[in-house]
Amino acid sequence: SIVVPGADTQFQHILRLLNTNVDGRRKVTYAMNAIKGCGRRYANLVCKKADVDMTKRAGELTTDELERLVVIMQNPRQYKIPDWFLNRQKDFTTGKYSQVLANQVDNTIREDLERLKKIRAHRGVRHAYGLRVRGQHTKTTGRKGRTVEYVKGRIGVQESKESIQIIREDEKEKCPDAAYCETFVNDNILPSLSDIIDLKTEYIGSIDPEIEIGVKCLHGDGECIGNIQQLCVQKYIPKYFDFIICQNRKQRRIPSEIVLNTCLDFVNASDEERGQVTQCIGSDEGKDLHIASVEKSKKLGAGKSCTVYLADKQRCIRDGGRWYDCPGGYEVENFLNDICLEFKKNNGKDFPGLYETN
């Protein structure tokens, strides 16, 4: 603490209580409000339990008085403060009643949100996506920073056990076609055929050995770093496509570390997986993955925004808000049927429980 002696007594202009700087010039009940989790009513009650004169300034309190305040704040039930007065009632893990203070407030909130995300509760999912949770209207409010476009430069989803590819290339401003393709696959193809599909993403860019990142992206280095993040997640985390869907909803903030960590939380990445992804992003490994992906995109001949391939053959294109060049049709049933035909061709039998193909 910073102690400034007065004429007759020592007066502390700044007190350090529960890892918080408290203004010694304010009345004690108001000064205590600087501590997270300690409001005016709780501070008033604690002062009464500690027999502290509430007309005093915080800097006038003795060491014994400060210790009593801290002990009572941290152990309210021992001093007959009622359970209904506390801010943490019937804790989910321990079932105990307590007053959460200072750094514990942020830790407790984070743990609660992590639990909700982990069990995929509705509130947890909305927190993970960065959406409002408490029933507010969202059509016309809170639109700043809202996800409208999708990750620039990604060419979509490629390869399965029966080899499905969706080639994606962003336009100058927005690419709703690429977003549509990814959502189309995630909502309509994966639920039925996830056992025989292994989705992967590839990316578009220009290889340039003279620049540090190795690839020149249409929309700058931020786009390239976002591509590298997704490629590293793709390599080390099985549920990488869920990670991409999560990032798409926060595209304007890619490649922010906050978005990266939020989406890693969303897919329940382990500490080991997080370490592998982080090391990959910050090393030549991520750069090499990006270069290899760009080369593969060129080999496939990716040209239009969202081109679907099946068994390395162009199956369909979606561009300008419509499907075209789709010899097998573009309805969900058409895609499912063609994938099952490819499965039968490679395995000599139908995929059980979905289609019987001729």
Average pLDDT over the chain reads 80
pLDDT of residue 57: 95
pTM of this prediction? 0.50
User: Is the pLDDT assigned to residue 185 strictly greater than 90?
Assistant: no
User: Is the pLDDT assigned to residue 157 strictly greater than 50?
Assistant: no
pLDDT of residue 159: 38
Instruction: Give the CA angle between residues 274, 277, 283 to the nearest 5°.
Output: 135
pLDDT of residue 337: 83
Q: Give the residue from 154, 131, 145 showing the smallest Cα distance to 240.
A: 154
User: Is the pLDDT assigned to residue 8 strictly greater than 60?
Assistant: no
**Separation between Cα atoms, residue 104 and residue 101, nearest integer Å:** 5
User: Is the pLDDT assigned to residue 152 strictly greater than 80?
Assistant: no
Strands (E), the chain: 2-5, 10-17, 20-23, 154-158, 164-167, 200-203, 206-207, 215-216, 307-310, 313-319, 322-324
- Model confidence at 141, pLDDT cuts 50, 70, 90, reads confident
Q: Which structure tokens are listed for 30?
A: 């108001």
Q: Which residue has the higher pLDDT, 159 or 245?
A: 245
Strands (E), 120-245: 154-158, 164-167, 200-203, 206-207, 215-216
Q: Which structure tokens are listed for 47?
A: 């002062």
Question: SS3 for 60?
Answer: helix
Q: Which structure tokens are listed for 132?
A: 């409002």
pLDDT, average across residues 330-349: 80
User: Is the pLDDT assigned to residue 267 strictly greater than 90?
Assistant: no
**What pLDDT, in 10s, does the model give residues 246-256?**
877 766 677 77
Q: Which residue has the higher pLDDT, 336 or 303?
A: 336
Q: Which residue has the higher pLDDT, 145 or 121?
A: 121
Q: Which of 146-160, 236-250, 314-328, 343-357 has the lowest mean pLDDT?
A: 146-160
pLDDT of residue 156: 40
